Structures are given as C-alpha cells and as structure tokens.
Amino acid sequence: MSSKAVKQAIMNGDKAFKRFFKGLSQFPRYKKKRNQDVKCYFPKNNKTDWTVERHRVKVPTIGWVRLKEYGYIPKNATVKSGTVYQRAGRYYVSVLCELEEMETKLALNKTGLGIDLGVKDFATRSDGIVHENINKTIKVKKIEKRLKREQRS
C-alpha cells in the first residue's frame, strides 16, 4: 500500500470528523477495505508527477492514460492531485486542478427580461424567443421507453 494512499485516507477521516463536530454531517462510518473500489491517490509533489497533454495525462507509477475527449482539462490548469479508481471493471482518473482567475467582461444591459414558464412551451421570453420542453422530444421519449423496458426485465 502506498504511503500517499494512507496519508489521503487519514486526511479524509480528519475531514469527516471535522464536518461531524461542526454539525454538517453524521458520524463517519467505518468502511471495509474489501467493499471499496480500487483507489490510488497521487498528490503532486514535483513538476514531473502529473503531466497534462492534449489528449492524455501522465499518472505517477502508471504512465500515460488517454483521455476520452480532448479539452476536459484546460491548458492553463495546474494539476494538484489525482485519484485512480475502478468501477464496473473500468478504470477512471479524477484530477484536481487549479485554474487562474479569468476575467469576465459582462455587457451592461439596462433593459429587463421577463420569462413566462408554461405547460405547452418550457419558457417564453419577453423578447419573443420560445424555449421548447426537451422532455417532449422524440429522442427523449424513445430513451424513456427503452428505460422502462430495461427496468421491467
């Protein structure tokens, strides 16, 4: 067992007890090791621990892991730590990133906007734009029908 994993488990327990004593959550429950998914914690100690490229991430002791899609991790993000876990026979990587604050320029709009929520249409704006209810589309109806069939069997 990695020392980093033990350290992270102690930090998680400490956080759970602090939340309990502040009254934000219940008393922490003991979780058996055999009931947990495989988890590996990797804090970033130096620059070469976690490397993020266009479509892949370099995880310590594992190597390069391919991302499913490009753009999940922004280019200007600095990786702080990560977790590798297994669920349903697949491995997943969760990465904690820190982003620099980005300045957002909002246009000053002095006019108001009214929104009417309805039954037929989801929302109608005062400038005449109508947003339709996505639950009434053919695609959603087919997916719900398929879900009902799967739940029955």
Q: Is the pTM of this model over 0.75?
A: no
Residues 71 and 121 in one domain: no
Q: Is 81 helix (H, G, I), strand (E, B) or coil?
A: strand
Whether residues 41 and 97 fall in one domain: yes
- Residue 49's pLDDT is 73
Task: Assess contact for 40 and 84: CB atoms under 8 A.
Answer: yes
Q: Are residues 122 and 147 in the same domain?
A: yes
Same domain, 97 and 56: yes
Q: Is residue 108 part of a domain?
A: no
Do 136 and 80 fall into the same domain?
Answer: no
pLDDT above 80 for 18: yes
Domain that holds residue 53: 37-101
Same domain, 85 and 121: no
pLDDT tens for residues 31-57? Answer: 777 766 667 777 676 766 777 777 788
Per-residue pLDDT reduced to its tens digit, 100-137:
776 777 777 677 788 888 888 889 988 889 988 877 78
What is the residue-averaged pLDDT of the chain?
80
**Mean per-residue pLDDT for 139-149?**
91
Q: Which residue stretches of the chain are H helix?
A: 3-22, 138-152
Buried b (16+ CB within 10 A) or exposed e, 87-125: eeeeeebebebeeeeeeeeeeeeeeeeeeeeeeeeeebe
Long-range CB contacts (within 8 A, 24+) of 14-21 = none
Within a domain: 109: no
In a domain, 107, yes or no: no
Q: What is the tally of structural domains in the chain?
A: 3
Q: Is residue 25 part of a domain?
A: yes
